[in-house]
């Protein structure tokens, strides 16, 4: 490593960006498939949201040579969709944690939480 890059984070290669994007797309399709009851429907939903065809998305995820390198907008759309997905999961987890805390406090806790939020 040269002294010029010392202390800086290493550069990421285009191959690494593609691999990360492929993993994110795979997770998005997996979630959409569980939600919609079908893997093919998962491909359709995610493909529509990122601006590609379901066939291209499937080839990209499976790393087929027939899938051309995506344009920068596709990378960005997959990244943005994945980030939104992660934010939704975090929000759901926070809500679940609040519900669990309320259950631990007893049967009147749910009313107390609702009253606290209304009064705020």
Below-50 pLDDT ranges, the chain:
1-2, 120
Nearest in space to 71 (alpha carbons), one of 33, 12, 14, 29: 14
Confidence at residue 120, expressed as pLDDT on a 0 to 100 scale = 47
Helix (H, G, I), strand (E, B) or coil at 65: coil
Confidence at residue 38, expressed as pLDDT on a 0 to 100 scale = 96
| d(C-alpha 100, C-alpha 98), whole Å | 5
Q: Where are the domains of the chain?
A: 12-119
The C-alpha torsion from 66 through 39 and 76 to 23, rounded to 10°, is -80
Which pTM was predicted?
A: 0.73
| d(C-alpha 96, C-alpha 86), whole Å | 15
Confidence at residue 112, expressed as pLDDT on a 0 to 100 scale = 52
């Amino acid at each position: 490593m040269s002294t010029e890059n010392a202390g800086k984070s290493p550069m990421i290669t285009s191959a690494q960006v593609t691999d990360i994007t492929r993993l994110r797309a795979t997770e998005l399709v997996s979630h959409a498939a569980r939600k919609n009851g079908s893997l093919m429907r998962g491909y359709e939903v995610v493909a529509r949201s990122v601006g590609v065809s379901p066939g291209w998305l499937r080839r990209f995820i499976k790393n087929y040579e027939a899938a051309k390198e995506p344009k920068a907008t596709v990378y960005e759309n997959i990244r943005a969709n994945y980030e939104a997905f992660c934010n939704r999961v975090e929000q759901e987890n926070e809500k679940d944690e609040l519900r669990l805390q309320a259950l631990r406090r007893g049967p009147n806790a749910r009313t107390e939480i609702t009253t606290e939020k209304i009064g705020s």
